[in-house]
Amino acid sequence: MGMMSYADRYGKYFEALPDVDAYMERIGLEGKSIPLTKEGLDTMQFAHLRAVPFENIDLWDYNKPVDYGVPELWDKVILRRRGGYCFELNALYMALLQALGFDCYAVGARSVPYNDRGIEPPYMHRMTVVTMGGKRYVTDVGFGFTNSARASICLDEYGEQDIRGTKHTVEDMQGNTKLVIRHGAEGPAHVFKFSMHPIPILDFIGPNYYMSAIGFRNKRMVNLHTLEGAVTIDGAVLRETAGGIVTETPAATALETLKILNERFGMVIREPLRDEAELPPA
């Protein structure tokens, strides 16, 4: 038996979307004409965040491997109406943007750039840079926190940018690198630091393997944006954020969590979840 060819092994990462209209229906934009402008890009990003959850159910509950090939993502996110994390969601989202005519490429990012010893973590997040009208914008539908940006951020503007009610700024760093800073009530906070150089799609295989094997296996994590804020499952807690007010409710059993995922997050899950009460500490 001969060796597997390069195309057979890696071609799935470069496949076109099977059906753009089906994807647009999945994010609630069926029949919409999306202009190739910042307004169009922001419409796409916010719709995606409100329709497709950040989630690690396959990893935490089912111990299933995760891949970001287009066929695997299409089956999971579009056909089975599930979600995923950054390497999955931003891969499929970038393919959609390209299919609509946006000029874009993938970048790797460092989330929360510095720890208390001044050490930067490796690139463990994927985002998309879009070029329009001579300016570059970063767009992201795979960051799992409630306070993630709900619209694109211009990387060639250095004053405060109002990103759906939250102020952000951008700073140039050494080596053609950008730093994105969020300005909230608690003060400025570094969000991402990333190189502006395109990352080849296959170079995300290693980081994705690490995050699927280790990074997203410490607890169940699900997040979906809403018009008013977000709804989140954090371990065994259901957290709802609306108008700056946070409400927490225990989701004590796997059966209760499964019901929440199907009813509140619009996910279609039939198989039972793992019961956290029966699991040893991560």
User: Can you spell out the DSSP letters for 56-99?
Assistant: -HHHHTT-------HHHHIIIIIIS---B-HHHHHHHHHHHHHH
Q: Where is 193: in which H helix or E strand?
A: strand 187-195
From first to last of its 282 residues, the chain has per-residue pLDDT tens of 456 788 888 999 999 999 999 999 999 999 999 999 999 999 999 999 999 999 999 999 999 989 999 999 999 999 999 999 999 999 999 999 999 999 999 999 987 655 566 677 788 999 999 999 999 999 999 998 888 899 999 999 999 999 999 999 999 998 899 999 999 888 898 889 999 999 999 999 999 999 999 889 889 999 999 999 999 999 889 999 998 899 999 876 899 999 999 999 999 998 999 886 555 444
| Cα distance between residue 56 and residue 53, in whole Å | 10
Structure tokens at 203: 């170079």
Cα–Cα distances in Å, from 201 out to 99, 116, 139, 144, 204?
Answer: 17, 31, 17, 21, 6
Name the residue type at position 35: P
Q: Which of 219, 198, 186, 208 is nearest to 86 (CA)?
A: 208
* Signed CA dihedral, 241, 267, 87, 19: sign only: negative
Give Cβ neighbours of residue 105 (< 8 Å, ≥ 6 apart): 94, 128, 129, 198, 199
Where exactly are the structural domains of the chain?
A: 35-218
Q: Which two tokens stand for residue 50?
A: 């409100």
CATH 3.40.50.150 fits 35-218, yes or no: no
